[in-house]
Structure 1
Amino acid sequence: MGEVPARVRVVRLLRVREGRETDFVDAYQGVRDGAMRCPGHLREQLCRSLDDPGRWLLTSEWESLEAIERWRTDPDHTTLVGPMNACLHDDRWTGVFEIMPGSTGDRRPRQG
């Protein structure tokens, strides 16, 4: 049996321009919807800092690095991220991480 490819998480730390928060969230929702249509996309999350409301964290989880590359090279990706990136300052950071086997857990009570 072959080795199962590791799931991957993309992490982006962003600074949204003051007054552009609504535009950013609207544009993000378009990017999220496009990513959700891409094979291999598992989940997305957008978070805003409580300590620094101009700072945002965007994460997405993918089945594999290949799935991320398919999305990044999809023509829809470029079209969709343009309006989102227009809301951002240049001090942004993106990292791609392998999710280690056995490292995930969910402590929330199950709804039943």
Structure 2
Amino acid sequence: MEPSAHVRVIRMLRVREGREADFVQAYHRVLERAVRFPGHLGEQLCRSIDNPGQWLLTSEWESLEAIKRWRTDPDHSALVEPMNAHLHDERSTAVFQVVDVASAR
């Protein structure tokens, strides 16, 4: 398969103990805007079974340009700040080009 122009953003997060519900609520406020943002294709929020303090947030975008526009949108910082307030400092974000896609049959 040819490489896709789509990109996937992967965020590994550690949510502060006792702040999980507040984090998810803040995430949903970000998501409300993200789903209407041009180029946004979808998201998943996952919580580790083995380490419940560890979370994985993924989003898929039509292009690298779309995610750059989202990250530099004037509303972006104000939206993600309340979500990030529930996180430990140890977190990472990476952007990947989608190279191949397999579907379940």
> TM-score w.r.t. structure 1 length?
0.88
Secondary structure, counterpart of 2:58 in structure 1: strand
CA contact (8 A) 2:14 2:87 kept: yes
Where in structure 1 do 4 or more consecutive aligned residues deviate above 6 Å?
A: none
Higher normalized contact order (CA 8 Å, seq sep 6+, divided by chain length): 2
CA-CA distance at 1:106 after TM superposition:
2.2
Look up the match of 1:95: 94
Secondary structure, counterpart of 1:17 in structure 2: coil
Larger Cα-atom Rg = 1
What code does the residue aligned with 2:92 have? W
In 1, the alpha carbon distance for the partners of 2:103 and 2:28 equals 25
Look up the match of 1:107: 104
Look up the match of 1:33: 32
Aligned length: 103
Identity fraction in percent: 67
CA contact (8 A) 2:15 2:86 kept: yes
Look up the match of 2:53: 54
In 2, the alpha carbon distance for the partners of 1:99 and 1:16 equals 27
Residue deviations 1:46-92 (CA, integer Å, cap 9, x gap): 00000000000000000000000111111111111000000000000
Instruction: Give the superposed CA RMSD.
Output: 1.3
In 1, the alpha carbon distance for the partners of 2:82 and 2:12 equals 17
In 1, the alpha carbon distance for the partners of 2:103 and 2:75 equals 33
Structure 2: 5+ residue runs without aligned partners?
none
